[in-house]
């Protein structure tokens, strides 16, 4: 699954086919560098060297390092949400929706392993200056909690789920998904990925 390269028209006019291809290449290389080096340690110079272009070429397409990384983040998040939403909306019951949500989460990881690592690196990374969670992490949680809450509330309204505090349960479910993936990424030999996924789906 390739990263989306949709963007506003370049300030010098509509991007050419070659410019869009170069932009896509830069995004793909950048995400691989983030997966390898980590979000904090990835520089424009690293990306330019890997792409075999000058830093000027990178800055032609992206004004700053943060703009480049933000676009990677946005593309990854939108891909994940679109993939998950498409599979959830095929279901007719809240229980099936919840299972589809969990399964889609894991399936996306398997198909886009490097990109998913970069997503977590960029979203959960701490700011060394004040030890505060990066704003991107807050946005991830807010969107996931909202979507999950909608599924859970739907299940309560139609009688599939018992009464429980949705604002508390949604973070628990998302936390289990994210936590398991982080454990799998860090220590894949200690985590039965398929088995854990099955337990969560049940």
Residues contacting 173, CB < 8 A, separation 6+: 98, 102, 148
Ramachandran area for residue 13 (φ above 0: left; ψ -120 to 50: alpha; else beta): left
Specify the 3-state DSSP secondary structure of 132: strand
Note the pLDDT tens digit of each residue in 81-134.
889 999 999 999 999 999 999 999 888 887 877 676 666 666 555 444 454 555
- CATH number assigned to the domain with residue range 17-201, chosen from the 4 options 3.40.50.2000, 3.30.565.10, 1.10.357.10, 2.60.40.1120: 1.10.357.10
Note the pLDDT tens digit of each residue in 60-76.
998 888 788 778 777 77
Task: Tokens for 59, please give them.
Answer: 């800055």
Cα–Cα distance between 37 and 56 in angstroms, integer?
A: 22
Domain ranges within the chain, ordered by starting residue: 17-201
Alpha helices in 38-165 (DSSP H): 44-51, 55-61, 65-88, 94-111, 113-124, 135-157
């Amino acid at each position: 699954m390739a990263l989306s390269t949709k963007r506003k028209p370049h300030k010098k006019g509509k991007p050419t086919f070659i410019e869009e291809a170069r932009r896509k290449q830069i995004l793909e290389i950048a995400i691989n560098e983030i997966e390898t080096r980590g979000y904090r340690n990835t520089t424009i110079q690293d990306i330019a060297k890997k792409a075999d272009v000058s830093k000027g070429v990178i800055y032609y397409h992206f004004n700053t390092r943060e703009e480049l990384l933000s676009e990677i983040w946005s593309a990854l998040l939108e891909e994940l949400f679109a993939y998950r939403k498409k599979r959830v909306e095929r279901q007719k019951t809240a229980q099936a929706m919840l299972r589809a949500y969990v399964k889609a989460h894991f399936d996306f990881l398997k198909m886009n392993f490097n990109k998913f690592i970069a997503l977590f690196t960029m979203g959960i990374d701490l700011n060394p200056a004040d030890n505060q969670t990066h704003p991107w992490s807050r946005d991830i949680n807010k969107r996931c909690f909202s979507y999950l809450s909608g599924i859970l509330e739907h299940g309560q309204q139609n009688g599939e789920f018992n009464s429980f505090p949705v604002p508390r349960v949604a973070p628990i479910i998302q936390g289990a998904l994210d936590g398991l993936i982080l454990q799998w990424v860090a220590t894949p030999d200690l985590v039965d990925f398929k088995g854990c996924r099955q337990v969560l789906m049940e």
